[in-house]
Amino acid sequence: MLELQKGYADEIVRQAKDFYHKTKSIYDEAGYSQSYQPEEMWKNTRDLVSIIDSDASAVETIRLVHNTYRFSVNPADSIKEKMADWYLGYLMQSGINIFDLDITIQESPISLNSVRRDGRLLTPDFLRTVAIYFEIQKYCNIPKSKFRIAELGAGCGHLARTLKLFIPNSVYVDIDLPEALYFAYIFLRLNFPDAKTCYVTDASQLKDGIQDFDFVFVPTMFADCVLKNKFDLFCNTASLGEMTNPVIRHWMDFVQNRLKVRYFFGLNRFLNMFSAYGQFSQDRLNENECSVLFDPKWRILHWELEPPFARCPYEEPSRVTRNLEIVAERLPDTSSDNKLQSQQIIEDLMDEDWFRYRGKYMSLTMRSNVLANDLTMSGTLFKLWESIRLYPSKANVAMMLIYLHTLTKTDYPFEEWFYYRNLLKRLVKTEPAKGGDAVRYALRLSVWHNPFIVPEWLYYILRNKAKLRTGHIRKILKWKTKYLNL
C-alpha cells in the first residue's frame, strides 16, 4: 500500500482538501455549528486544521493525526507489545484465532506504532475493532446481500476499514464533522484504492441511493440525504459521549424516529465519575445523556458495562472512559404493555437487599463494599436501566438513584446521577401522587456531601468541619428550601 503511486496519493489529498474547504464554507454560511453546538473538545480543532492546511503527504497526514489524542490509543513505547498480546489473548479465549483468518485481516501499514506477530501487522486499535466486529456478528444477522452500515462519528475510519475487510459487500456511510471526514476519506481511499466512493457536498448526489458505493462520506449537515435508504446497522462508538445533550438528543431522534435501521451497535460512556468546581466538570453536566435516551421500540440483544474487550489493563483504564456496550434491534411495533413490563422489573428488584436495607451501613458484610457487581443483562443495573427505558416512573428512577449510591465509594458522583435526579424531579412535578419514602430518600440522597449540589462554601465547611457562623446558617436554610423540599 505504501507503494501506491505518488500521483494517486497526492490526488486523494487534493480531493480531500477541496471537499473540506467546500464543506466548511457551506457550514459557515448556514451557521450550522451555532445551531448544533459541539462540546469543548470539538470546539477547538486547531490541531486537526493545522494538519489539513499543511503540505503533508497522504501517509504523513494519517500518521500526524494518529499522534493526536483524538482517534487513536496506540502508544509508541513498549507497552504496545503487551497491549497487542492482551487483545490477542482475549480473542483467543473468545474462540477467535486471528492467525486462522485471511491474511488481509491485519492493521494497515499506514498506521503508526504497529507490532508484528506471525507476519501480521497489529495494533491495539485494530484488535479492538476486530473484537467489535465479532460482537456485531454474534448479535446481528449479517445478510449475504449488500450490508448497509451507517456510522456516526467514524473518526479516522478504523472501524469502517475493519468491517469492510470482514464484510466486503457492505456499503459504509460515514456521517461526521468535516474535520474528521478529511482524515477518514484519505485513510479509507488509501486502504481501498478500487473502492467506489462519494463525498456529499450536495444532497442531490444521493438521489439514486447508496447501493452503488463502497463508502459514502456525509457531513453531518447533509445527514438527511440518507434517510430514504434502509440500513442494516447503525454504529456509534465513543462519539455520542463527545456531544452536548441537545446534540445527543438530535442524533438519537435521528436514529430512532427518522432513520430506517434494523440494528444498533453502541459503545459510549456511562457511569464515569468526575470532580467538582472546574469548568470541565460543569460542562460534563450537559454531556451526560449518550447512554440513557433509548426508547421502548428497541429489543435489547446485549447490554454490558465495561465489556471484556474494553478491559485491557495497560493503557485504557487511564486514557479511555468507562463505556457501555449496547446491541439492539428495532421493533416493528410496540404493542406490548411497556408500563406493565417496567413495573414487573422493579417489583422483583424491591426484594433485593440494597433496596430493603437502603440507608443502613452493613458493617463486615459484602454489601458494605461489593467488588464484583453484575454489569451484564442479568444484573441490577441493567434491570433498572431497562425499566426506565420502557416506562420511566418515580419508583424506578428513585431506585436507580439509590442503587447508584451503593456503587459510589468516593465524593465524586456519576455523570448520569444528575440526569436521573433531574428526571425524578420532573416526574414528581408531573405525577399527581406523592412519591413515598423511596422517592424522598432518593431526592435527598448524597445531597449534603455532593459538591455539585452543595454550594462550594458549604461543601468546604462540611468537609473540613469548619465553624458555622450566623450568616452561614441563613444561607443554609435558604439553600435547603430551594434544593431539598419536595
Q: How confident is the model at residue 433 (pLDDT cuts 50, 70, 90)?
A: low
> Is residue 319, in this structure, part of any structural domain at all?
no
pLDDT, one tens digit per residue, over 99-122 is 999 999 999 999 988 999 999 999
Region 273-288: what's the mean pLDDT?
74
Q: What is the Cα 282 distance to its own chain's centre?
A: 19
Among 208, 237, 266, give the residue marking a domain's end: 237
Measured distance between the N- and C-terminal CA atoms of the chain, rounded to whole angstroms: 65
What integer pLDDT is reported at residue 380 of this predicted model? 98
pLDDT, one tens digit per residue, over 116-142 is 999 999 999 999 999 999 999 999 999
pLDDT, one tens digit per residue, over 203-242 is 899 999 999 999 999 999 999 999 999 999 999 999 999 9
- Is 359 in the same domain as 233? no
Q: Say what angle helices 178-191 and 58-66 make with each other, to 10 degrees.
A: 120
What nine digits make up the cell of 144?
A: 449475504
Among 192, 211, 237, give the residue marking a domain's end: 237
Contact assessment for residue 217 and residue 197, using Cβ atoms and an 8 Å cutoff: yes
> Is residue 396, in this structure, part of any structural domain at all?
yes
Q: Is the C-alpha dihedral spanning 273, 275, 277, 283 positive or negative?
A: negative
What integer pLDDT is reported at residue 4 of this predicted model? 60
What integer pLDDT is reported at residue 471 of this predicted model? 60
Model confidence at 405: pLDDT above 60 = yes
> Is residue 286, in this structure, part of any structural domain at all?
no
Flag the least confident range among 93-102, 167-176, 458-467: 458-467
Region 409-415: what's the mean pLDDT?
79
Per-position b or e across 159-168, b if 16+ CB within 10 A of its CB: bbbbbbbbbe
> Is residue 27, in this structure, part of any structural domain at all?
yes
What integer pLDDT is reported at residue 460 of this predicted model? 52
Specify the pTM. 0.91
Contact assessment for residue 470 and residue 481, using Cβ atoms and an 8 Å cutoff: no
- Domain count within the chain: 2
What integer pLDDT is reported at residue 228 of this predicted model? 95
d(CA 202, CA 17): 16
Among 237, 252, 286, give the residue marking a domain's end: 237
- CA 387 vs CA 334, 339, 349, 419, 435: distances in Å: 15, 9, 10, 16, 17
- Is 359 in the same domain as 231? no
What integer pLDDT is reported at residue 357 of this predicted model? 87
Q: How confident is the model at residue 438 (pLDDT cuts 50, 70, 90)?
A: confident
- Is 361 in the same domain as 224? no
Q: How confident is the model at residue 439 (pLDDT cuts 50, 70, 90)?
A: confident
Contact assessment for residue 331 and residue 299, using Cβ atoms and an 8 Å cutoff: yes
Contact assessment for residue 157 and residue 197, using Cβ atoms and an 8 Å cutoff: no
Model confidence at 469: pLDDT above 80 = no
Q: How confident is the model at residue 486 (pLDDT cuts 50, 70, 90)?
A: very low
Sequence-distant (≥ 6) Cβ neighbours of residue 478 within 8 angstroms: none
Model confidence at 362: pLDDT above 50 = yes
Burial (CB count <10 Å: 0-12, 13-18, 19+), residue 401: buried
Residue 107, beta-bridge partner list: none
Neighbours of 458 (CB within 10 A): 18
Model confidence at 465: pLDDT above 80 = no
- Is 228 in the same domain as 367? no
> Is residue 144, in this structure, part of any structural domain at all?
yes
Region 413-422: what's the mean pLDDT?
91
pLDDT, one tens digit per residue, over 52-88 is 999 999 999 999 999 888 888 878 788 999 999 999 9
> Is residue 167, in this structure, part of any structural domain at all?
yes
Give the structural domain span for 147.
6-237
Closest CA to 173 of 254, 231, 255, 245: 231
> Is residue 409, in this structure, part of any structural domain at all?
yes
Region 263-284: what's the mean pLDDT?
81
> Is residue 233, in this structure, part of any structural domain at all?
yes
